[in-house]
Structure 1
């Protein structure tokens, strides 16, 4: 899943607690449709360990509409950095749809798909990625295992032989299509009576080796691991959560140099956008 401000591709639908007063019984029923979401700011937008904002601030937000049957739709967006070179509003906008099923006490299966798009950009930079997640909760501990598979699409092809070709916009293999597999596991445990949650993530990407048209990619080096460890704190009596996370990948500096010219602001090719970093966030949920 994306290393986002939002926890997960789709937000959990809010539940309404039943009231003990008979006169309020009708209002206490679980509503057939619920709306949830969040908006916030992060010090760096990391997608599977790789910076999408050139290690700069990003404003992000999303909303989910869920039906009591388990079906949901949602959207999520963020500003970008170097990605704006392929045209459009310099923004990522994800459209999400899926279904959640309760498998038992504390266990949930979530299947759906995310359509990644870049408003006013080029059509062959958009792509779809179906996913499935299995989550379980016991006491303060929650665990999630997920798989996302993006079938062969032009946006995931290797259109450039080198990073310099990508920065110059010179296609060496135009029309190439590729697929990508992403596996991940998440864990979180709440510290009782503190508002503090400790979290961890590990992910594995395999398939999409290279940069697609206008430098689109979900796994630009073809195969790598990403991981995260951090903590979130809910500020009492507010909808606000502050977070901090250490994020890293095993992408080498040499591999990162291939990405840098197209991912970085100004196409300057300096530094690394896939190395270790600490990301801070402030989120308001509703």
Structure 2
């Protein structure tokens, strides 16, 4: 899951800033004070086929389909860990004459803790790493990214839930130079208006430290149909206000354009 960055940057190796560590410690202290409600333990997973892998409103596959899958283990205590993967092309699609970028896969790993604070309020805190194995030319800033996140949701009924999530990059963000400290705010509303049918609304804002021209907002309106056998089909229309010149790849495709997507998922 990554943003498209079609500018060249220099490699930098650094530890996370003190503020990032302070934020992580603050999260840990805050949620340690909450009494977690035990959740059902076990292993779950899914496999999906989507017409276009959109991450924060930006295509990761040059507007082509993607095959994706993930697995997660959740403990009764509320702790969980998981991994997720997808084919991507956004890095190799930045290639120009003389470059040598070879990457076609995104692998994510995450660890977190989730629970409840009352009857209708849930919370989630964790760390997520995005890894892009491949070959990159000398001087290319690593796209690998680690974010810590803090989320919460309110479910006033079984049919409606409202969620808010804040992600904070403790490394450079997806290859942007000097961008550690970047953040993303994600708001979602889900409404099950008929059994098996859910309306999905999303809005987000991406901030990128020292790369403000690349910042943008994104949105999505969709509907998901779930079946008893674990299959679901989701249709969505999404868009952004990203600068076209900055998010157009070497093939001339505007990756943050308005898009309609279809996704078939099987949960297990």
Q: TM-score, normalised on structure 1? A: 0.71
The answer on whether the counterparts of 1:208 and 1:221 sit within 8 Å (CA) in structure 2 is no
Name the structure, 1 or 2, with higher relative contact order (CA <8 Å, separation 6+): 2
For residues 258 and 223 of structure 1, do their structure 2 counterparts lie closer, same or farther at Cα, with a shift above 3 Å needed? closer
Q: Which runs of 5+ in 1 are unaligned?
A: 4-29, 159-175, 211-219, 262-266
Q: CA RMSD in A?
A: 2.5
Q: Matches of 2:179 and 2:253 in 1, distance apart?
A: 29
Deviations 1:229-278 (A, max 9, x none): 1100013x321100100110011xxx3323323xxxxx32x231111111
Q: Which runs of 5+ in 2 are unaligned?
A: 4-37
Size of the aligned set, in residue pairs, is 223
Map of 1:243 onto structure 2? 234
Map of 2:197 onto structure 1? 196
Map of 2:214 onto structure 1? 222
Per-residue deviation at 1:153?
Answer: 2.6
Q: Matches of 2:255 and 2:117 in 1, distance apart?
A: 39
The answer on whether the counterparts of 1:156 and 1:178 sit within 8 Å (CA) in structure 2 is no
Map of 2:169 onto structure 1? 150
Deviations 1:202-229 (A, max 9, x none): 001112455xxxxxxxxx8432110001
Say which is worse superposed, 145-154 or 221-230, in terms of deviation. 145-154
Per-residue deviation at 1:82?
Answer: 3.3
The answer on whether the counterparts of 1:209 and 1:223 sit within 8 Å (CA) in structure 2 is no
Match runs of 1:247-258 below 5 Å: 247-251=238-242, 255-258=243-246
Q: Matches of 2:190 and 2:126 in 1, distance apart?
A: 22
Q: 2:225 aligns with which of 206, 209, 233?
A: 233
Map of 2:146 onto structure 1? 128
For residues 240 and 155 of structure 1, do their structure 2 counterparts lie closer, same or farther at Cα, with a shift above 3 Å needed? closer
Deviations 1:14-64 (A, max 9, x none): xxxxxxxxxxxxxxxx99731112111111111111111111101111111
Q: Matches of 2:76 and 2:267 in 1, distance apart?
A: 20
For residues 121 and 136 of structure 1, do their structure 2 counterparts lie closer, same or farther at Cα, with a shift above 3 Å needed? farther
Q: Matches of 2:222 and 2:267 in 1, distance apart?
A: 19
Map of 2:253 onto structure 1? 271
Q: TM-score, normalised on structure 2? A: 0.76
